Amino acid sequence: MVSHAIEVRNLYKIFGPRGGDYVDAVKNGLGKAELNQKYGHVLGLRDINISMPAGGIMVVMGLSGSGKSTLIRHINRLIDPTAGEVLYDGVDVCKMSENDLREFRRHKTAMVFQKFALLPHRTVLENTVYGLEIQGVGQAEREKRATQWIARVGLSGFENHYPNQLSGGMQQRVGLARALTNDADILLMDEAYSALDPLIRVDMQTVLLDLQKELKKTVVFITHDLDEALRLGDKIAILRDGMVVQQGTGQEIVLNPADEYITAFVKEVNRGRVVNVETIMAPLSGNPEGMPIAKGTVLEMAARAMTSANQTLAHVVDENNRPVGAISLSAIISSMVTPTSHEAKAA
């Protein structure tokens, strides 16, 4: 069975005319500043190793200059690596022939950009069918598929409008519809929502999550916003100066930050929206008490459900509805504002 997973292995990118000459020096500890000052080359990525889950959302985040946009452009080889591999279904994209790479870009990947990248002289429908035109799909079929996706992203009735007649959020919906119309396995989203107002941004996050439940695309999402990363990511990798500082689930990163840099990132995180009930549940003693709460439910949602039901006790149930632990409303509220026992033990 084809998985559509992406494996990034030992990836280095050094910008400059002789980047390959300095890979060994970087491996031996040559830093970004010294590489630039002494040799006039820029270290973009350093020994990146990430397994991006098939059918899931991989978020790559970091501050400006961390290397996140450089990394995503290696997946469809808009940037060639200095060393390393980018494997898709076991095939190294970096070694594809020009023809194979062209087919890979046309049929396997689609990209959504921060600045929308819509063609101003084309209508919503004409922008949405653009990728299918490149693929050589007939007009009737491409317009049928595009119209379906325009409707799915909530833009029915706007097919004949031009980009300058749309709000920023609507333009980004067109960009998403265009990417989905291609029916590519991999969806690359580079700071896709960063230019949007906060409320529109949250709305677009919801659109992506709702579509992903059905489509199960392999999504690589670039952001500098931790709240966005935590909401969207099945897995998160945090970059700094071209290196992966930490990767894992949002909960793993919030509960066990790897260093002071990550600790500063997660300091103001709303734990109630990240930590799951099974992290704080106690072993069952006797018959389960209170209402059932499904594994995977975040603390904030559990607290709301228990408060609405006027319950102070609950039991956690697995996917087969079997009780696996006990929780209390007081423990949930405490864990939303203080380190969990899991963290206390780690400390």
One pLDDT digit (tens) per residue for the chain, 347 residues: 345 789 999 999 999 999 999 999 999 999 999 999 999 999 999 999 999 989 999 999 998 889 999 999 999 999 999 999 999 988 999 999 999 999 999 889 988 887 778 899 999 999 999 988 888 889 999 999 999 999 988 899 999 999 999 988 899 899 999 989 988 899 999 988 887 888 888 998 999 999 999 889 999 999 998 889 999 999 999 999 999 999 999 999 998 899 998 988 888 888 888 889 999 999 988 888 899 999 989 999 999 999 999 999 999 999 999 999 999 999 999 888 755 444 444 43
Alpha carbon distance, N-terminus to C-terminus of the chain: 42
Taken in order 264, 265, 270, 271, is the CA torsion positive or negative? negative
What amino acid occupies position 190?
D
The residues near 84 (Cβ < 8 Å, ≥ 6 apart) are 8, 9, 10, 11, 12, 48, 94
CATH pick for 53-83+96-270 out of 3.30.360.10, 3.40.50.720, 3.40.50.300, 1.20.5.50: 3.40.50.300
Distance of CA 44 to the CA centre of its chain: 20
Q: What is the pLDDT of residue 183?
A: 85
The residue ranges of every structural domain in the chain are: 53-83+96-270, 272-346
Q: Return the pLDDT at 2.
A: 46
Q: Give the CATH number of domain 272-346.
A: 3.10.580.10
Looking at residue 121, its pLDDT comes to: 94
pLDDT of residue 3: 59
Q: What is the reported pLDDT for 344?
A: 41
d(CA 125, CA 230): 33
Print burial letters for 244-279: b (CB count within 10 Å at least 16), e (below 16).
bbbbbebbebbbebeeeebeebbeebebbbbbbbbb
Distance (Å, whole) CA 312 – CA 309: 9
**Residue 232 near residue 243 (C-beta atoms within 8 A):** no
* Measured distance CA(22)–CA(207) in Å, rounded: 44
In this prediction, residue 342 carries a pLDDT of 46
